[in-house]
Amino acid sequence: MSLFSSQTQTNIDFAADLFRQSKHAVVLTGAGLSTPSGIPDFRSTGTGLWSRDEPLEVASLTTFRTAPEKFYEWFRPLASQIFFAKPNPAHYALADLEKAGRLHSIITQNIDVLHQKAGAQNVIEMHGTMQTLTCTQCYHKVDAELYLASFADKGVIPHCPKCAQILKPDVILFGEQLPQAAWFKAQRVARQCDLMVVIGSSLEVLPVAGLPMQALDRGAHLIIINNTQTYLNVRADVAILEDVATIIPAIAERVLNG
């Protein structure tokens, strides 16, 4: 007996069929993929980070340059949640699809490295990563794990082991350009794919939100799985407004095991 309504099960089956027919599937993931892992998203009403804080005041490049302590004070709870987070069933299901050759690339807006922790290999990180920190003075790069535990636990702001200046997480702040190599690669795979699957993204943050349109303009199919509507739901072959941590594993199960 299905755990889902008949309409949802029909949508799952249709999405699985599109995956099986695809020869070059690409996934675009947003913060909604990681909320089941305990990491808050940014824009949900009442619970999103930007419903409590003004992003340009706490998470901008200007704030980091002029008042890094203010940035780190805001960042500490989020860093702790990310540091201790574990992949959820959706992350593992996507990694399984990639391993089976059913998924070519994962473009992610997330900085939490949970795709990689789940075993995914070809991940394009559009907004940077929590894996490393870079010195703002000498540009020495370090493994974040060596510093984030003490920062999350005791609030110790990380400093460069070479020049003692403050280290910056390699995440993209407001006012900072996207990593050029990642952006070019994301555009390339979006234009080459025959199936784009948007998961856990409201598609409100440009320029990444425009990638599904690039895929659609070249004839790709589109699947959207998110708990709220997006501007492209009307263009999607199938849109499922339910919990990604249950829907993605169900689709992967159908794709891999029939």
What are the residue numbers of the active site?
A: 127
The DSSP symbol for 213 reads: H
Residue whose C-alpha is closest to residue 143's, from 151, 155, 154, 134: 134
Structure tokens at 29: 């993931």
The answer to whether the beta carbons of residues 132 and 141 sit under 8 Å apart is: yes
- Residue 138 three-state SS: coil
User: What are the CA-CA distances from residue 111 to residues 66, 128, 169, 217, 235 (Å)?
Assistant: 23, 6, 10, 28, 28
User: What is the distance between the alpha carbons of residues 148 and 253, in angstroms, rounded to a whole number?
Assistant: 36
User: What are the CA-CA distances from residue 68 to residues 55, 60, 144, 161, 208 (Å)?
Assistant: 14, 10, 17, 17, 27
| Exposure string over 91-106, b if 16+ CB within 10 A, otherwise e | bbbbbbbbeeebbbbb
What percent of the chain is helix, strand and coil (3-state, nearest 5)? 45, 15, 35
User: What is the distance between the alpha carbons of residues 156 and 73, in angstroms, rounded to a whole number?
Assistant: 10
